[in-house]
Amino acid sequence: MRLVLLGAPGAGKGTQAKRIASKYNIAHISTGDLLRDEVKKNTQLGIRANEYMEQGTLVPDELIIEMIKRILENDSSKTGFLMDGFPRTLNQAEKFDKMLKGLGLSIDKVINLHVDEEKLVKRLAARRVCQSCNKIFSLANYDGSPEICPYCGGKLYKRKDDQEDVIKQRLKVYEKQTKPLIDYYKKNGLLDDVDGDGSEDKVMERILSVI
Ligand code: AP5
């Protein structure tokens, strides 16, 4: 199965992607996670990408396309994948279609998670991520320690791009550069809208029902 998960920053893509990929035993390909990993390792790509990520703008298409090309050539994505955070521009979507066509593959479904902007901002401001198990976590309605992961005991951190000014910029970039993909995939007959509000279990249920 080959899926694409669309949605604004904070819509719950990462949270749901982990669950969907595990349920269907397919590769979870998050360009955001891959880029953050490159930043951590201080690679050439990481150093370049970080300039954009810190400001809440998109990393240039050619760097992203190159990264995706390498992944698609890798065996682990051959049995199926879930793209989380890619494609993010019309140019990326068109190049992705061409790449897949060249491999004799196609996308089965695009799921668009939508959540009101006010809620997105609140979610991102309350997000913490575990340094050890990478679990995405929310401090909203939580009375435990804001620093220790309740799942593995690792240290929780706030993403640099989850500062208020960067969140605003990311939402602007989403409206201008990524939202047009909704129409692109609607026209291809691949898109299903899913309400991303409600409990994580409820949202997962809705996603499974459209898959
Ligand atoms: P990326 O990491 O992809 O960030 P994003 O798209 O902005 O999305 P987020 O990870 O912020 O949110 P999410 O939808 O995954 O929500 P989550 O599940 O964490 O990209 C980061 C940067 O990398 C970009 O800005 C760009 O610079 C660069 N980049 C990446 N891909 C690129 C590309 N293709 N091209 C160019 N540049 C690229 O949930 C958020 C919070 O909400 C969490 O706290 C979670 O616990 C909580 N939550 C989740 N579900 C629910 C629910 N149902 N109810 C209440 N709270 C919930």
Where exactly are the structural domains of the chain?
A: 2-115+175-205
For the ranges 31-35, 54-58, 102-106, 118-122, the lowest mean pLDDT is seen at: 102-106
CATH 3.40.50.300 corresponds to the domain 2-115+175-205: yes
* pTM score over 0.85: yes
Q: Which of 36, 88, 123, 206 is catalytic?
A: 88
What is the distance between the alpha carbons of residues 71 and 85, in angstroms, rounded to a whole number? 14
pLDDT category at 75 given cuts 50, 70, 90 is low
C-alpha Rg value of the chain to the nearest Å: 17
19 is catalytic: no
Provide the mean pLDDT of the chain. 95
- Residue 89: partners with Cβ closer than 8 Å, 6 or more residues away: 58, 61, 177, 178, 181
Percent of the chain with pLDDT over 70: 99
Q: What is the pLDDT of residue 89?
A: 98
* Both tokens assigned to 151: 């799942």
Q: Which of 19, 48, 109, 159 is catalytic?
A: 159
* DSSP bridge pairs for 138: 127
Query: From atom 9 of ligand 1, which residue's Cα is the shortest distance away?
Result: 9
2 is catalytic: no
